[in-house]
Amino acid sequence: MPKKIIGALIIGQSPRPDLVFPLQHMLPDCDILQAGALDKLTLEDLPDTSEAAYPLVTRMRNDLRVVVAEDYLAPKLQEALTRLEKEGVVATILLCAGTFDHLSGTMPLYKPFKIGLGLLASLQMKSIGLIAPVAEQEKPIKQRWESRGWKTATWTADLGNQDTVFRQQLIEKIQAKRLDCIVLDYVGHPVEQVEKLQKLIDIPVIDLGYLTMMTLANTL
- Residue 182, pLDDT above cutoff 90: yes
pLDDT at residue 74 above 80? Answer: yes
CATH of the domain at 119: 3.40.50.1860
Residue 58 belongs to a domain: yes
Residues 41, 97 share a domain:
yes
Shared-domain flag, residues 131 and 203: yes
Q: What is the pLDDT of residue 2?
A: 82
Whether residue 220 is contained in a domain is answered as no
**pLDDT reported for residue 51:** 87
User: What is the average pLDDT across 86-95?
Assistant: 98
133 occurs within a structural domain: yes
Looking at the structure, do residues 28 and 85 belong to the same domain, yes or no? yes
pLDDT at 179: 97
DSSP-derived pairing of the beta strands 55-59 and 30-36? unpaired
Domain boundary among 110, 130, 159: 110
Structural domain includes residue 219 = no
Residue 48 lies in a domain: yes
Average predicted confidence (pLDDT) for the chain? 95
Residues 12 and 88 both lie in one domain: yes
Q: How many domains does the chain have?
A: 2
Q: Show the domain range for 179.
A: 115-207
Q: Is residue 212 part of a domain?
A: no
Cα–Cα distance, 93 to 23 (Å, whole number) = 10
Considering the domain architecture, whether residues 38 and 97 belong to the same structural domain is answered as: yes
